[in-house]
Amino acid sequence: MNKFERSKFRKQKIRYRIRKKVSGTPERPRLVVHRSLKNISAQLIDDSSSKTLLTVTSNSKDFISRNSKLTRIDASVEVGKLVAEKAKEINISQVVFDRNGYSFHGRVKSVAEGAREGGLKF
């Protein structure tokens, strides 16, 4: 097992360990954050029925039309606010935050702060 495979395996173990403890319900879905080098996405997932309730990404057309030039941190805050706004439309006020194995700092923390500013409760 080379260095890359070990790193990938370790990250996968962290994700699985977190997923054992965190699950979403219809009343309180799971807010999952995925991070890439340029973009960030957030999803609300109901684990009891295995359905994605909504998705917001920083490279979607509606996001880009609203926020043309933002830094990655500012875009993450706006993604969090947009998730909160769309969640209110489908009558969701509480979520379980799933950081998906990422450390709770930087862009992941910014999504959480934006969602809290938008009115979601963790």
Tell me which residue has tokens 């609203």. 66
Q: Is the pLDDT of residue 90 over 90?
A: yes
Closest to 19 (Cα-Cα) out of 36, 32, 28? 32
Q: For residue 7, what are the domain limits?
A: 3-118
| 120 neighbors 87 (Cβ within 8 angstroms) | yes
Whole-model pTM: value is 0.86
Residue type present at position 117? E
Q: How many structural domains are present in the chain? A: 1
Q: Is the pLDDT of residue 68 over 80?
A: no
Q: What is the pLDDT of residues 15-59, one digit of tens each?
A: 888 888 888 888 899 999 999 999 999 999 998 999 999 999 999
Q: How far is residue 120's CA from residue 114's CA, in Å, rounded to a whole number?
A: 9
pLDDT attached to residue 65: 80
CATH number for 37 = 3.30.420.100
Q: How far is residue 4's CA from residue 53's CA, in Å, rounded to a whole number?
A: 34
pLDDT attached to residue 113: 97
